[in-house]
A and B are shown apart, each in its own frame.
Chain A
Amino acid sequence: MTQTLTARATLPLDRAESWVEPAVSLLGAAPMAPEGFEAYSARGGYAALARCRDGDSLWAGLTGSPAFQALQGRGGAAFPTRRKVEVVREAAATGRATSVVVNGAESEPLSFKDRYLMRLRPHAILDGALLAARLVGAGRVHLYVADGQGMDALREAVQSRAAHDPASASGPAQPDIRLVAAQHSYVAGEESAAVRAIATGVARPTDKPPRPYQAGVDGDASLVLNVETLARMALCAMSGEASDAPAGGGAFLATVSGSGLAAGLYEVPLGTTLGEVRGRLGFAPEMGADVLIGGFFGGLMPFDPDLQLDYAAVRARSNGLGCGAMHFVAEDDCVLKVAADVAVFFSEYTARQCRTCISSSQTISLTLSRLGRPAQGVDTLLDDIARWGHQLPGRGACAVPDGLALLLRSLTEHYSAELESHRAVGCARCASAGWDRRWQGLSVDGEELTGRFHWTTGEPPEGGDPR
């Protein structure tokens, strides 16, 4: 257990470990050692690419892997990866140009796992990207990265693969690989924003349809996949090589933190219970009566030791596993203050495009941030929160309104008593929270662990008023 930090400080990430077998693990036995070309090749990396020279045979092999069949996107939306690839393969079959976008624009303040992978496991990502390109016959791979060190590591990986295996890197069937610096903004990682940014430099979501698989970069059918999803896809292809290796897609990277405590990065088998996670971390029992799950995108929930960490089970609780981040709310913290922190973050980092999102995120953040003071005479608080939670989903070009709605639905589902007591008598902890960057204590800083550069969500909005 590390020392308690001051309330507003970012949470340093100071450990990383894998809870799955090394053979099917991304972190492996030495999580802090960067994995170079030799090490990655030695464990079977790039082998499927070498063996399956065409997309169809690769597809046949991968779809034979139950892990790949079950793989869901790790960027937060948990969309079935197989389906995503299939749609772009269908577009390619009709003769359309295709491309792959490697999404390394991690912007969840509570998550560091994508930056970890890009910095220390770049070959797994590159392998996955090349596999994806072969599956859909892509002429171009865009490495879209919002992290200077991640970008350097990926560039180095591309070069080192080319140096070690010149034939495979420059053959006619090889896609053109481009590195694109992404914005450090919250919406930059949304897939339509990624596509738009690659084409125009403007990282803001666009209305859908068309989705990237319909009209992506330069009009291609674009396959946009998160870096962890791609690395897991590479593991799935690799585990086909090993005789009886368990599913490489069956784990997820979790950035786990607690209020005021240092954070850790863990590779957790899907289906692990929340109780096991807390137990392995050695968190004291009073630590984490409540959990902010899925980064800022999965809502709050009371700690339940029996909750199985998989997408469906978490969704069944009115929450979401999202990008896999989990934050245990300290006993002396207030769960509704955390909810307000998240809402204020959303209101300050919308894309500033869609009126409904801008005004509702502002209304919601103001409502939640005022819960510290009793709201006598305001009888509609619980109804308002329930109503917003159901009205907002789908009301924008991107999923920010959906994230806010999920947060509100989780409050309605789990915390109506707390809302009622705040309305009636207020809350000293909520009342003491300011406005400016109040969510700072909900952001993980992995620089100590993986390097020296600092990541920020752009500049703080100037003139951020405390209202």
Chain B
Amino acid sequence: MSVMDPGVMTTEPTRGREPVGALIDRVGQQARLELRDAVPMPAQAYWDEELYGQEIEKIFKKDWLCLARTDEVPDAGDYFAIDIADEPLIVVRGEDSQVRVFSRVCRHRYEDLLGGGTPADQRRTGCAKRFVCPYHDWAYRLDGELFAAPDMVARPGFDMSAFNLREVRSTVWQGFVFVNLSGDLAEPLDMSGIEGILGGYDFTDWEVASVIDWGTTKVNWKIVVENFSEAYHHLGLHKSSAQPIWPFASVQMGDEVGPEWFYSRLFVGADAATGEVNGHLVQPTWLTPQPGLSQYELSQGILFAKFPTFMMLPAPDITFWFRMFPTAAEYHQLEILLMVHKSSYAHPEFKEKIHEATEFFRDVQGEDASCNERIQSSTRSVFATGGVLHPQEQPLWQLQKYVSSRLAR
């Protein structure tokens, strides 16, 4: 640090890479600023390999992560495979209809159970009676028990029961399957704050109706979280898509300002509203809303993020959920899942409407991705310094609190 005012100093272009310890300290210092003084994440945090390594170890291998919906594996044997934090995992529904999460690493010699010659259309999802490793045909039951290990009788004293699949600690919240890779060391998943703001919503009876698979793109995961959670950009990037429905001006910031999660309420704009009831504007819908929502709830979408990457926008008829995980320092994979309440399948134009909604959100995502990808490349610029946050960018400041609370030495 020089004798210069630090506020002035950060507006100067910087050169070279800061040591990761100093970078983490800087995030921590920023996170302790008052909201009115908050500034963006240091640009290096979006590409630094060493920082990413720490994020994997101390965030993605330590915190609760949402992998799937139980309705994505509705029947016994249905599975969903996903790789997170270098861990190949599989979510599977057992014969007892329990949903469990296992490591896909074969207990024999670490082959991926869905590797080898597994047909492409079965690598991600499918239905199986057993999981058979493609390498030596070791077979596991749906509850992870080793069922067959061909010719291992050749090894005297081989104990099959010692080679079951490793189960990953998981828990289900309103149909969302969360895992924690640190196992018993982790605190239980705490969704009480989020339940408190969700009012009449209960996602137990919602299902995934449509998926926008955005694949893997070159954007750091934190840029995606930041882009998802602030609505200030509605007036720019989404001026003709999301802004009319959820104008930035009528966004109400949540009162949760801590390091774990964030929410805001996106009230429908008067121009897009289909009417007004009891003083609450009515948000337009594609389908029928979840039964039992109040007029207050019918007037808005709730935008929330539980760090690191559980992101949702509950809205009366279609709630969307971001399934997003980093795949490298500068890459993430993303699926946007559109969820509906089961009762709305009865809507006479269900297929058309869900298609319409999917295309709408695909366009919005296209707008977001176009900016996110450019930001990712700009973060290498020596001029990517000295930024400033709008009060509605409160979640970006909270994300800094989260990251620094987990990475602080």
Contact = CB atoms under 8 A, between A and B. Distances in A.
Interface of A: 183-185, 188, 196-197, 200-204, 351-355, 358-359, 457-459, 461-463, 465, 467
A459 B278 contact: yes
Contact of A354 (B249, B267, B279, B391): B249
B197 A202 contact: no
A359 B248 CA distance: 12
B13 interface: no
Contact of B281 (A204, A354, A359, A463): A204
B322 to A, nearest CB: 23
B199 interface: yes
Contacts of B274: 201
Interface in B47-89: none
Given A459-B295, A467-B255, A185 B249 contact: no
Given A352-B250, A354-B249, A358-B250, A463 B197 contact: yes
Most buried by A among B197, B199, B296: B296
A184 B279 CA distance: 6
A184 B275 contact: no
Contacts of A204: 270, 276, 281
A84 to B, nearest CB: 25
Nearest to A359: B391
B117 to A, nearest CB: 54
Nearest to B275: A201
Interface residues of B, number: 25
Contacts of B280: 458-459
B294 interface: yes
A-B complex: 8 closest residue pairs judged by Cβ atoms: A458-B279, A185-B279, A201-B275, A204-B270, A355-B249, A465-B255, A352-B250, A202-B273
Contact of A459 (B248, B250, B269, B279): B279
B51 to A, nearest CB: 35
A183 B278 contact: yes
Given A352-B249, A358-B249, A459-B294, 7 more contacts: A183-B278, A200-B275, A202-B270, A202-B276, A351-B270, A355-B249, A462-B294
Given A353-B249, A459-B294, A467-B255, A188 B279 contact: yes
A333 to B, nearest CB: 28
Contacts of B294: 459, 462
A7 B62 CA distance: 50
A457 B279 contact: yes
Contact of A202 (B255, B267, B275): B275
Contacts of B275: 200-202
Contact of B276 (A201, A353, A467): A201
B267 A352 contact: yes
A210 to B, nearest CB: 16
Interface in B139-189: none
Interface in B240-274: 247-250, 252, 255, 265, 267, 269-270, 273-274
Interface of B: 197, 199, 247-250, 252, 255, 265, 267, 269-270, 273-281, 294-296, 391
B273 to A, nearest CB: 5
Contacts of A353: 247, 249-250, 269-270
Contacts of B265: 463
Contacts of A196: 270
A203 B249 CA distance: 17
B276 A203 contact: yes
Nearest to B249: A355
Nearest to B270: A204
A359 B251 CA distance: 10
17 contacts: A185-B276, A185-B279, A188-B279, A196-B270, A202-B275, A203-B276, A203-B279, A351-B270, A352-B252, A352-B267, A353-B249, A358-B250, A459-B278, A459-B295, A461-B296, A463-B199, A467-B255
Most buried by A among B249, B277, B278, B279: B279
A104 B86 CA distance: 66
B138 to A, nearest CB: 53
A401 to B, nearest CB: 14
Contacts of A457: 279
A463 B197 CA distance: 7
Contacts of B276: 183, 185, 197, 201-204
A204 B247 CA distance: 14
B361 to A, nearest CB: 24
Contacts of B273: 202
Contacts of B269: 353
B296 A462 contact: yes
Nearest to B277: A183
A201 B282 CA distance: 10
A335 B255 CA distance: 28
Nearest to B200: A462
B249 A458 contact: no
Contact of B296 (A185, A197, A201, A459): A459
A81 to B, nearest CB: 28
Nearest to B250: A352
A200 B255 CA distance: 33
B245 to A, nearest CB: 14
Contacts of B391: 359
B278 A184 contact: yes
Contacts of B250: 352-353, 358
Nearest to B274: A201
A151 B278 CA distance: 16
A354 B269 CA distance: 10
Given A197-B276, A353-B250, A202 B295 contact: no
Contacts of A197: 276
A453 to B, nearest CB: 14
A256 B248 CA distance: 40
Contacts of B249: 352-355, 358
A247 B74 CA distance: 78
A184 B247 CA distance: 23
Nearest to B265: A463
Most buried by A among B252, B267, B281, B296: B281
A457 B199 CA distance: 20
A384 B139 CA distance: 73
Nearest to B278: A458
Nearest to A196: B270
B295 to A, nearest CB: 7
A358 B265 CA distance: 14
Contacts of B279: 183-185, 188, 203, 457-459
Given A203-B276, A351-B270, A457-B279, A462 B199 contact: yes
A183 B270 CA distance: 14
A273 B300 CA distance: 48
